[in-house]
Structure 1
Amino acid sequence: MQLTIEQIIFFQTEGYLIVPNVLSDDELQPVIDELEREIDDRARKLFAEGKLQALHEGEPFERRYASLHAQCREIGKGFDIQHYLGEAMFRHLGSEKLLDVVECLLGSELSCNPIQHLRAKLPAKQAGDEPDYFQNVPWHQDCAVTTPDSEASEIITFWMPLVDATAETGCMEVMPRVFKQGYINHRAEGGTMIDPDKLPDAVPVLAECPKGSLVIMNKYTPHRGIGNRSNIVRWSIDLRYHKTGANSGRSFQPSFPVRSASHPESVLTDVHEWRRLWQTVKEEKGQKLHRV
């Protein structure tokens, strides 16, 4: 799908945009199926080790992970895109429908940024003693997790829920128009967060977003995640894209072309090469990931 002129102007003015119905349930199902297999594999391994007492096999995608996590938090260890490196997720990064939206904002020479995450926000009543910032993610700008040498790079966040993200399940709040102020000082306490003394005086907007839709954000747009008051897991994927050749903000991690009008042969389509790129940096220690 293509963004309308009105949507592009809104994004450029407000610093965020919610785009409905980018991907259908059927188009997201391969990713969900892959995650379900990964959860099942992890659960069976932990069960064999005596760390789980029940597998909760009959529970749906939206609930099973929380039931397993309540028994053994180890189920979530290293459960992120760059760790489990699934093929369906790799194909999702280069989804043509997703990239059609990205191209409307960044042009036809596109690279997938290495800052990409899979997030499972547990129901608050099942989160146990998890740090509060897992539920109530503090106000921050995404540029705060990039290196300063990427200041000139246009890196845009594309956040997609795999279940409906509502005020009840724990959607985001954003501060419109504040991106025009640029980078705001952050602190590292309680998760990377905007210095409370520097927090802009702006009225936040609730960014509710149905499954398969997108919340798009400028890298300077302050946003936060609110708690999950529902009884399901709020699964989401957040990706970033930038123009090929621009500094990614994580030069020690792999970015790669996902669309190119001028050099289509440069687009990475080999999942094995993608895995190799990540596996060569997975063990690097001492790299600074945030500005603070």
Structure 2
Amino acid sequence: MRLTVEQIITYQTEGYLIVPDVLSREALRPVIEELEREIDARARRLYAEGKLSELHEDEPFERRYARLYDQCREFAGGLDIADYLGEAMFRHLGNEQLLDVAECLLGSELSCNPIQHVRAKLPSRSTSGEPDYFQNVPWHQDCAVTTQDSEASEIITFWMPLVDATEETGCMEIMPRVFKQGYINHRAEGGTTIDPVKLPDVEPILAACTKGSLVIMNKYTPHRGISNRSDIIRWSIDLRYHKTGANSGRSFQPSFPVRSASRPESVLTDWAEWRRMWQAAKEVKGRKLHRV
């Protein structure tokens, strides 16, 4: 789908845009099924090690991970995009519907940024005793997790829920129009967050949206996650795109062309090569990922 002129103006004015129904349930199915396989494999491994007493095989995608985490906190790590490097997720990075939207804002020379995540926000009952930011991601700008040499780069965030993101399930809150202030000082305590002294006094909006919808944000737009008070997991995918040739903000991690009108042969379609790029990047230790 393409953005309307009105939608583009809204994004340019407010610093964010919620676009409903960009991705069909069928389009999301390969990613969800791949995540289900990863969860199952991990569950069986921990079960064999005696760290799980139940596999909860009959639980749906929206609940199984939480049931397993309740038994074993060790279940939490290793399910991010750069951890398991799945083929379905790689294909999703270059999803044509997503790129059609990105092209409306960035032009036809597009690269996938290496800052990319899949997140499982568990029901709050499952995370009692964890640090507050485990549930309530604090106010931050996405530029705070990029290197300063990307200040001139236009990097846009695409956030998409794999279940309905509501106030109950823990959707995002966004501060409209604040992006015009540019970078605001952050601190590391309690998770990378805007310095409370510098936090703008702006009424946030609730970025509720349905499964398959898209929340687009400017890299300077302050936003935060709120608690998941439901009984399901709020799964989401968080991607970024930038103009090919611009600094990605993570030059030591792999970005790659996903669309090019001038050099279509440059587009990376080889899943194995993408995996190799990430595996090589992981071998380099000690890189600072955040500004603070």
Moved over 3 A (4+): none
SS at match of 1:47: helix
- State the alpha-carbon separation in 2 of the partners of residues 226 and 172 from structure 1: 6
- What letter matches 2:57 in structure 1? E
- State the alpha-carbon separation in 2 of the partners of residues 129 and 51 from structure 1: 20
CA deviation after TM superposition for structure 1 residue 201, in Å: 1.0
Q: Please, what is the CA RMSD of the aligned residues?
A: 0.6
- State the alpha-carbon separation in 1 of the partners of residues 241 and 51 from structure 2: 39
- State the alpha-carbon separation in 2 of the partners of residues 289 and 73 from structure 1: 25
TM superposition score normalised by structure 2: 0.99
CA deviation after TM superposition for structure 1 residue 128, in Å: 3.0
Task: Give the aligned partner of residue 135 of structure 2.
Answer: 135
- State the alpha-carbon separation in 1 of the partners of residues 139 and 124 from structure 2: 19
- What letter matches 1:106 in structure 2? L
Task: Give the aligned partner of residue 278 of structure 1.
Answer: 278
TM superposition score normalised by structure 1: 0.99
CA deviation after TM superposition for structure 1 residue 75, in Å: 1.6
SS at match of 2:288: coil
- State the alpha-carbon separation in 2 of the partners of residues 169 and 29 from structure 1: 20
- What letter matches 2:277 in structure 1? L
1:32 and 2:28 equivalent? no
Task: Give the aligned partner of residue 214 of structure 1.
Answer: 214
SS at match of 2:11: helix
Task: Give the aligned partner of residue 245 of structure 2.
Answer: 245
- State the alpha-carbon separation in 2 of the partners of residues 6 and 206 from structure 1: 20
1:172 and 2:172 equivalent? yes
CA deviation after TM superposition for structure 1 residue 209, in Å: 1.3
Task: Give the aligned partner of residue 258 of structure 2.
Answer: 258
- What letter matches 1:144 in structure 2? A
Once the two structures are superposed, the pairs formed by residues 3-152 of structure 1 within 5 Å of their partners are: 3-152=3-152
- State the alpha-carbon separation in 2 of the partners of residues 237 and 141 from structure 1: 17
Task: Give the aligned partner of residue 236 of structure 1.
Answer: 236
Count of matched residue positions in the alignment of Structure 1 and Structure 2: 292
Task: Give the aligned partner of residue 155 of structure 2.
Answer: 155
Task: Give the aligned partner of residue 268 of structure 1.
Answer: 268
Which segments of 5 or more consecutive residues in structure 2 lack a partner in the other structure? Answer: none
CA deviation after TM superposition for structure 1 residue 76, in Å: 2.1
- What letter matches 1:162 in structure 2? L
Larger deviation, residues 78-87 vs 278-287 = 278-287
SS at match of 1:238: strand
SS at match of 2:259: strand
- What letter matches 2:18 in structure 1? I
- State the alpha-carbon separation in 2 of the partners of residues 174 and 142 from structure 1: 12
- State the alpha-carbon separation in 2 of the partners of residues 97 and 160 from structure 1: 13
CA deviation after TM superposition for structure 1 residue 270, in Å: 0.4
- State the alpha-carbon separation in 1 of the partners of residues 136 and 107 from structure 2: 34
CA deviation after TM superposition for structure 1 residue 133, in Å: 0.3
SS at match of 1:247: coil
Identical pairs, percent: 81
1:36-73 superposed Cα distances (whole Å, 9 cap, x missing partner): 00000000000000000000000000000000001112
CA deviation after TM superposition for structure 1 residue 286, in Å: 1.1
Which segments of 5 or more consecutive residues in structure 1 lack a partner in the other structure? Answer: none
CA deviation after TM superposition for structure 1 residue 283, in Å: 2.9
- State the alpha-carbon separation in 1 of the partners of residues 46 and 154 from structure 2: 42
SS at match of 2:281: coil
- State the alpha-carbon separation in 1 of the partners of residues 283 and 174 from structure 2: 34
1:234-284 superposed Cα distances (whole Å, 9 cap, x missing partner): 000000000000000000000000000000000000000000000001132
